[in-house]
Amino acid sequence: GAGVSQSPSNKVTEKGKDVELRCDPISGHTALYWYRQSLGQGLEFLIYFQGNSAPDKSGLPSDRFSAERTGGSVSTLTIQRTQQEDSAVYLCASSLGGTGVSYEQYFGPGTRLTVT
């Protein structure tokens, strides 16, 4: 079946512009995560959505970053007034979520953001 998809795959933008990154999770997955992976670095947690609950925004690095998830499915990560340090690969993952056990995450291919 279809996996997690992200668009665009690559985005080059000028410093100060706003960007939107899109994630389509696996159908039926209630949990959705955004991570950032800078060159040679591990994954940095950004935000987590679980069903209709309020999202966990504890990883967002500044108020320039925001995310929403419409209808419990597609999610958009928005970065306003981009800075060069925002350049990274942005990864989205989804999982079955719920309670009881930890479910594995399924990752999308990522969006490579370059801020010039």
Which residues of the chain form contacts with another protein (CB under 8 A)?
31, 33, 35, 41-43, 45, 48, 50, 56, 91, 93, 95, 97-105, 107-110
What tokens does 80 get?
């306003």
In the complex, minimum distance from the CB of residue 81 to another protein, in angstroms, rounded to a whole number? 27
* Residue with Cβ nearer another protein (52 or 99): 99
| Burial of 74: CB neighbours in 10 Å, binned 0-12, 13-18, 19+ | middle
In the complex, minimum distance from the CB of residue 10 to another protein, in angstroms, rounded to a whole number? 12
* Residue with Cβ nearer another protein (4 or 82): 4
User: With contact defined as beta carbons under 8 Å apart, do 44 and 37 qualify?
Assistant: yes
Residue 39 CA, distance from chain mean position: 17
